[in-house]
Chain A
């Protein structure tokens, strides 16, 4: 890259006042002595002055009173609640807020997982599991009561007989 190329890359920042003092001085002194870079500077200034001048001229014709009347009319106008809701939803879906949705979703999932582990009032599950059982030769039946899910281990009174009081209960089958 030649010196002129490097200077022309920096002209914009120099005109914007965004260069350090030493760099700014280097650009200024180069432009003062270089026709090509001087022309580049003038082109850039022309673009800005033409564009800016046009817009400033337009804006200078804008009268405040009718403008304010229209703004006031909007403020005083009652909007349907759906529009307000839509605007609020739209305002939430901005990039910074969307970034929050990821951790929020993860926290929600973690919360649901932990919530599922603990019983909620009125929805207590009395589920129990029998890991091992040794009845020393006796017959045993495992039952589960439907509503509270209570597990019942019923030991028969002798190795061969059945207790008639649990006849119906055993018809419901083993607990597992």
Chain B
């Protein structure tokens, strides 16, 4: 650990490990550093002076070089940035892990996400199989069977079978009364006629007038609709 002051070096090769240079001038020199104690330069002037790294210092550069080639270029760039901008300390911090696409990597989902998802899936499954009391509106108090057994579909009110069979026939039967001739009341000699004939009848004779115009009250008191 030597200290040099106000020296002028010309065309020399200097091993600078651990030395301190103050207000020195280096002309066309080569400064060799071997990775030992850090040299210190204060107020020096460098003219056409080069740098040479040897031993462990050279190893370090090789290491960075290998890293760079191996795909860690970003890391090396940071080191260089640190050298350039004087924030070398930054490179000593652990780097943030690269972002993981949680959409495709289920294992990377946050624990909270996984828990919530699990609870939801469990709840739906339990509801589906009826082993868990769902929300209050979904169960009958005291019932132990699954919901699907509390309200089986075939317990819904349905048409009488006879009616169901004649469902399509109903309109046909009713239309028969307004498409053909038949007795409405044979004893009273009152007949049914096709609706088209009735059209012709009312078109020629006008609509039948009621026997006596009803008042509001009469009409509504005996209604049974």
Mutual binders A and B: no
